[in-house]
């Protein structure tokens, strides 16, 4: 393994493991603490992409995907109050969302890398985050995909409620998705400065 990838792989693994743990704890009505750590996976991917290129960034993404699968397998063996902490739909949604969104992020970043320094990380993260949220919540909780795991009752996620308590009436899982998406968009902007600082430091070392 290329030693230059090790810090990126370790950082991605830390984000994935922390997010899998913190997703078990609620933050308010619509979010979990994992919503605040997971978006930093895009920061790791974008830093690796800027400093080392798209190829190494994809390797870091695949490493994160493997770590996520291991976390999901462990979660399926841990029984919570309402059954396994990780169901098949959640594991499938989480894995596919991570892989699709992160690889899309790498592709978009690579195509925009010649523009202003903030353009590639911002656009790629915004698009990737949107795909990630839509993919995960649809697979994990949409009533239209009950056939994926008929034994898993997700009817609670389909309860019709005002969006985020004040908008139009939608399924509960849509409010959860919108809240998650909003946090990702906010952190995409906040992460621009750490991105700039980390890239400068790593670029100086590489040079």
Question: What's the CATH code of the domain at 86?
Answer: 1.10.1760
Query: What's the pLDDT at 206?
Result: 63
Residue 48, burial from CB neighbour count under 10 angstroms (0-12, 13-18, 19+): buried
Bridge partner residues of 26 (DSSP): 32
Domain count, the chain: 1
Query: What's the pLDDT at 85?
Result: 79
Q: Is 26 helix (H, G, I), strand (E, B) or coil?
A: strand
Bridge partner residues of 27 (DSSP): 31
Q: Is 114 helix (H, G, I), strand (E, B) or coil?
A: coil
Bridge partner residues of 170 (DSSP): 161
Q: How many CA atoms lie within 13 A of 191 on its CB side?
A: 26
63, 76, 112, 137, 145 from 96: Cα distances, Å = 14, 17, 24, 11, 15
51, 60, 108 from 63: Cα distances, Å = 18, 5, 20
Token digits of residue 163 = 């969006």
The C-alpha angle with vertex 163 and arms to 158 and 164, in degrees rounded to 5, equals 110
For residue 133, the enclosing domain spans 3-206
Token digits of residue 166 = 């004040």
119-141 and 88-112 helices, crossing angle to 10°: 160
171 DSSP assignment = E
Query: What's the pLDDT at 3?
Result: 80
115 DSSP assignment = S
CA–CA separation, 35 vs 173, rounded Å?
A: 15
Which one, of 79, 73, 115, lies nearest residue 91 by Cα?
Answer: 73
Helices and strands of the chain, counted as H and E runs: 8, 6
Each residue's pLDDT, cut to its tens digit, for the chain (207 residues) gives 578 899 999 999 999 999 999 998 999 999 999 999 999 999 999 999 999 999 999 999 999 999 999 999 898 888 766 677 789 999 999 999 999 999 999 999 999 999 899 999 999 999 999 999 999 999 999 999 999 999 888 999 999 999 999 999 999 999 999 999 999 999 999 999 999 999 999 988 765
Which one, of 62, 48, 37, 68, lies nearest residue 121 by Cα?
Answer: 48
Size (the chain), residues: 207
Query: What's the pLDDT at 145?
Result: 93
């Amino acid at each position: 393994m290329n030693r230059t990838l090790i810090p990126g792989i370790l950082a991605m693994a830390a984000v994935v493991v922390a997010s899998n743990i913190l997703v078990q704890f609620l933050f308010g009505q619509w979010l979990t603490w994992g919503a605040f750590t997971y978006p930093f996976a895009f920061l790791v991917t974008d830093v690796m992409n800027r400093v080392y290129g798209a190829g190494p960034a994809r390797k870091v993404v695949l490493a994160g995907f493997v770590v996520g699968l291991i976390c999901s397998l462990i979660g399926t063996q841990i029984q919570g109050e309402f059954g396994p902490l990780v169901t098949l739909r959640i594991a499938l949604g989480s894995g596919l969302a991570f892989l699709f969104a992160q690889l899309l992020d790498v592709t978009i970043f690579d195509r925009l890398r010649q523009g202003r320094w903030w353009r590639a990380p911002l656009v790629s993260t915004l698009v990737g985050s949107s795909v990630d949220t839509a993919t995960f919540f649809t697979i994990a909780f949409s009533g239209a995909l009950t056939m994926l795991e008929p034994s898993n009752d997700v009817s609670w996620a389909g309860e019709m409620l005002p969006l985020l308590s004040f908008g139009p009436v939608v399924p509960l899982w849509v409010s959860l998705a919108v809240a998650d998406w909003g946090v990702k968009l906010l952190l995409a902007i906040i992460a621009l400065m750490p991105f700039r600082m980390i890239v400068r430091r790593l670029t100086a070392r590489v040079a």
